Structure 1
Amino acid sequence: MTSPPRLIATDLDGTLLRHDKTVSPRTIAALAAAEDAGIEVFFVTGRPARWMGVVSEHVHGHGLAICANGAAVVDLHAEGPRVVRVRELARADALAVVHALRSAAPGVTFAVERAEGIHYEPDYPSFPQDPGTSYAMADELLAEGTGLGSDPVLKLLAHHPEMDADEFLALGRKTAGTHAEFTRSSPSALLEISGRGVSKASTLALACEERGIAPEEVVAFGDMPNDLEMLAWAGTSYAMANAHPDVRVSTTHTTSTNEEDGVATVIETYV
C-alpha cells in the first residue's frame, strides 16, 4: 500500500496485546495517531464483548469492535459494552455439531457462548476469570425452553483434552463443516464454532461495505487461524512474527512480535 489505509483491522491476543494482556504506551499512541489521521481502527477478535475492557479505553471515533469471531458487533462507547449486531449460530446447527463431534472425538466437552454470557458442560475446563452462569450438558443448554431464554448463540466451544490442536480443527471441519464455521485461536485443542458464513472476515466486510471502504483500502493484522479469512480479504495483511505457521505463509507481510509492538511499528509508517 503506497498511501495510508482507510481502515486498520487488528486482532487482539497475540497481536495488539502483549502477553500480559496490556496495550503498550507506544501502541496506544499509534492507535490515537491513526484515528487523528482519519483512519478507522477496528478491533476484530474472538473475545466476547465482556472481555473487551482491555482495549475499551483506547477506542476512538466510531467505538465499534467485532467480537466472537464475527458473531457480534459491539459498541465499546456504551456502558456495558452493548452488542449492536448479532450473527448467530442456529441451535439446530449447534446441536448437529455437538452430536457429530461426540461421535468422532470421544472425550470432547462443550461450552455455549451467548450474548449475555457463557454456559458450560460440567467437565469443560472453564475460564477462571469468567465463571459460567450455568452448568448442563450441551443438548440441554441448546434446547428450546430450558430457562436460558431466547438469547442467541454466538458460538459453540469444543475442547478435547488429548488431541493435537490442528488435527482437532481438521476433524471438526470434516465431520460437521456443513453445519457451521470452525476455527481456533488457542494453542490447545479448543475449537471455536460459529454460524455458517460467519467469520471475522465476513463481518468486517459488511462493516466496510456500510462505510464504502474497499478491501484494498484495509490493512489487517493477525496471528492465529481464526484470522486467516480476514487477512486474505484485506488488501494488505500482516502476520505477527509470533504467528501460527499457516498465518505467516498466508500474508503479504510480516511485522515484529506482539511483545515488540509489531502493529504500532506498521501504523507509524502511515501516520
Structure 2
Amino acid sequence: MRENGPVTSATRRPETPASTVPTRLIATDLDGTLLHDDKTVSARTIAALAAAEQAGIEVFFVTGRPARWMDVVSDHVHGHGLAICGNGAAVVDLHGGPGAHRFVKVRELAPDIALDVIQLLRATAPGTVCAVERTFGLHLEPGYPLMHMEPPEIVSPAEKLLAKDALDADQPVLKVLAFHPEMDPDDFLTVARTAIGTRANVTRSSPSALLEISGPGVSKASTLELCCAERGIAPEEVAAFGDMPNDVEMLTWAGRSYAMGNAHPAAVAAASGRTAPNNEDGVAIVIEQILAERL
C-alpha cells in the first residue's frame, strides 16, 4: 500500500500490471541512465523523448546534478522544460536556456543541520572532507578533490561556508557532498546513514566514496511525488529509470521502473524491470515499448 507521506522506503509496492494503466509521466535519471558515458544524448533517445511528449506523456529529468549542469539536456525537454535537480532539492524550469534557469521549488537543507551532519561524519569517518552546494554555486573545504565540472567559488572550512555571515548565506543550501579518500563507497554510505540517522537524507551516485546529503525526507522520489500530485498523476502512471543508490526510492515508488543494464545492485533490487545499459539506449528502448502499447 502506498504511504501517506513522501516515499523514503526501499520496499517496493505491489505492482499494477503495466498494460492496464497507461503511462502519463516518464522520470529518468541522467548520468549512467539517459546519457551515454561521454555525456551525450543519442539521436535515438532524443527521438524517443520527442515521441513521448507528442503522445501526451510528460518527461521529467530527475538528477543529482545542480541546475547549472543541465545544459547537456535542456534542449531535449521538448514541452515543459522542468527538471528535478540535486536529488530532489530543487525543481527547475529550463525554458530560459543556459544561465537563465528558474527555480520553481526549493527544498533546502538547513545550514545548522548541514554543519551538524558534517561534524558527525568527521567524528565517525575521520578524513572526511566536504563541499556545500548552494543554489548558484559549489563551495569546498580545503582538501576536497577537484572532481566536479566547475571550479569552486569559495574554499574554506565548513564552519565558515555555513556561517550566518557567509558570502552567499542568502542562497539556500541544496546539499552537502562528503568525500572520503580511502573508504569503500558502499561502506561509507552505511557508516554515514548510521551516524546521521533521520537528521538528513544520505545517498550516493558516484563510483567513488562521495556521498550526497539532502534535507530530511528530501529525495528524488519525494519531490517527484509532490510534482505528480500537483498534476493529478498517480505512481502507477509513472515509468522511472535509474542506475545508482540515489535512484532507489524513485524506482521503488514508480508503478513501472527500470534499472539500467549497468546499474548498481541496489537499483536492480528496487526496480520492477531491467533494460539495456545507458550506452545502448536502454531508456529509449522502453519508451518505444510504452508507445507501442498505445497502438
Q: Do Structure 1 and Structure 2 share a fold, with TM-score over 0.5?
A: yes
SS of the aligned residue for 2:218 comes to: coil
Q: Alpha-carbon deviations, 1:154-208, whole Å to 9, x = none?
A: 0000000000000000111101122100000001000000000100000000000
Q: Which residue of 2 aligns with 1:235?
A: 255
- Which of 149, 158, 165 aligns to 1:145? It is 165
Q: Which residue of 2 aligns with 1:25?
A: 43
SS of the aligned residue for 2:155 comes to: coil
Q: Tell me the distance in 2 between the aligned counterparts of 1:86 and 1:212.
A: 21
Q: Tell me the distance in 2 between the aligned counterparts of 1:164 and 1:140.
A: 29
- The correspondence of residues 40-59 of structure 1 with structure 2, limited to 5 A, is 40-59=58-77
- Return the offset for 1:129: 2.8
Q: Which residue of 2 aligns with 1:175?
A: 195
Percent of aligned pairs with the same amino acid: 66
- Return the offset for 1:128: 5.2
Q: Alpha-carbon deviations, 1:76-99, whole Å to 9, x = none?
A: 112421212100001111111011
1:132 and 2:152 equivalent? yes
1:158 and 2:178 equivalent? yes
Q: Which residue of 1 aligns with 2:287?
A: 267
Q: Alpha-carbon deviations, 1:81-118, whole Å to 9, x = none?
A: 12121000011111110110000111110000000110
Q: Which residue of 1 aligns with 2:245?
A: 225
Paired residues of 1:94 and 1:179 also in contact (CA < 8 A): no
For structure 2, the 5+ residue unaligned runs are: 1-17
- Which of 116, 122, 125 aligns to 1:96? It is 116
Q: Which residue of 2 aligns with 1:82?
A: 102
Q: Tell me the distance in 2 between the aligned counterparts of 1:175 and 1:129.
A: 29
Q: Which residue of 2 aligns with 1:67?
A: 85
Paired residues of 1:89 and 1:195 also in contact (CA < 8 A): yes
AA aligned opposite 1:231 = L
- Which of 226, 246, 265 aligns to 1:245? It is 265
Paired residues of 2:134 and 2:172 also in contact (CA < 8 A): yes
Q: Tell me the distance in 2 between the aligned counterparts of 1:77 and 1:11.
A: 19
Q: Tell me the distance in 2 between the aligned counterparts of 1:256 and 1:178.
A: 35
Moved over 6 A (4+): none
- Return the offset for 1:72: 0.5
Paired residues of 1:111 and 1:121 also in contact (CA < 8 A): yes
Q: Alpha-carbon deviations, 1:130-176, whole Å to 9, x = none?
A: 10011100111011112223100000000000000000001111011
- Return the offset for 1:247: 1.0
Q: Which residue of 2 aligns with 1:4?
A: 22
Greater shift, 78-87 or 9-18, is seen at: 78-87
Q: Tell me the distance in 2 between the aligned counterparts of 1:190 and 1:78.
A: 31
1:109 and 2:109 equivalent? no
1:205 and 2:205 equivalent? no
CA-atom RMSD in angstroms? 0.9
TM-score by length of 1: 0.98
SS of the aligned residue for 1:43 comes to: strand
